[in-house]
Amino acid sequence: MLQPAAFFQALKEQGITFFTGVPDSLLKDFCAYVTDHTDKSNHIITANEGNAVALAAGRYLAAGQISLVYLQNSGLGNIINPLTSLTDPLVYGIPVLLLIGWRGQPGVKDEPQHAKQGQITLAQLEVLGIKYALLPDTTAEMQAVLQEAAAYMQARQAPYALVVRKGSFAPYSLQSEQPTAFPLNREEALHCVLAHLSDNDVVVSTTGKTSRELYEYRQALGQSHARDFLTVGSMGHASQIALGIALAKPQTHVYCFDGDGALLMHLGGLAIIGDTAPPNFTHIVFNNGAHDSVGGQPTVGHRIDIPALAKACGYRTVLQAASKEEISEQLAVRQQSPGPALLEIKIRKGARADLGRPRTTPQENKAALMQFLAAVK
């Protein structure tokens, strides 16, 4: 395994000192090291991966310095446009070093949402014309690959990708973590919200631990999973899935369980929800100020005013809570207020170490929800 410190130092030796991207569980140890050893002006965690490529392009235009953009391979979809219409040698020709976590690598056990992306990751890079290498797990080999990558990017004025396999980095724990004083974690807040919903309400939950906690809540109480859509992939799109259901089933109350990182990834969705204005739509944002499912790297969630953003985008009701009592009070207010509505619940980071995963397949989840919705008049 590679020591994050050794990789960080090797990057510096190649003149790469600016880091940006969206955290990934395969890269969490390296990202944590970067957070601890880089000042904030040289490490920007972006809302989505495409933003990171554009930011790296701007950095190169201003300073002539190549940046590192880190991402999970699921984020390749978010960077195809800037890679093909901005950084490609046929357009501007801007070198960027991509560090890509290879989730769903063939032959390596992973979650179902990564299966397809894992199969096509290398082929995607080949179609894009991006030269790549698998990141070696020894320091000497890694240094040689980095030297080759740096020479290629300078000579070709083009991006280069390092693909990271599971277990490539040795463990490293974030030292600069800032604790939050909110009384609830996400699972406790989620339980409180669910206790106030009716048997006819539909829940669309965002990717990561939110959906896992929703699934376990239903299991523990012996409840049906039929009215939940567990968005196991497609980070940032849960609100638009929920919007589609709300518009098609106006007599059904639809709740979107979102996270601050997912919300920020495609923030424009707020404007579309506000403009279409489904009265049966309630947006619950569990805001822990972190990408909790992939290592706990910070977001700007606790430094911005999410309810004000929703209000500006046309949400009819915006609310905030941080305790069980406030959640109950605000959900009661929501019952008597117009929609669409947004309730931001500020929570602390963290989840149970023994948190399980859904034992139903995505196809089974889809079929059960569609059957439930078909019976709704």
Same domain membership, residue 235 and residue 199: yes
The predicted structure's pLDDT at residue 176: 75
Q: What is the pLDDT of residue 351?
A: 85
Q: Which one-letter DSSP state was computed for residue 340?
A: S
Q: Which residues of the chain have pLDDT under 70?
A: 177-178
Number of neighbouring beta carbons within 10 Å of residue 12? 12
Domain that holds residue 365: 186-374
Output the pLDDT for position 352.
86
Which structure tokens are listed for 190? 């989620």
Total number of domains constituting the chain: 2
Q: Are residues 190 and 332 in the same domain?
A: yes
In a shared domain, residues 261 and 356: yes
Q: What is the CATH number of the domain that holds 208?
A: 3.40.50.970
Express each pLDDT in 49-90 by its tens digit: 999 999 999 999 999 999 999 999 999 999 999 999 999 999
DSSP 8-state secondary structure symbol assigned to residue 169: B
pLDDT for 292: 79
Name the pTM for this structure.
0.92
What count of other Cβ atoms lies within 10 Å of the Cβ of residue 134? Answer: 15
Q: Strands, DSSP E only, in 109-177?
A: 131-134, 160-164
Residue that terminates a domain, selected from 129, 164, 199? 164
Rounded Cα distance between 163 and 301, Å, is 29
Q: Looking at the structure, do residues 269 and 156 belong to the same domain, yes or no?
A: no
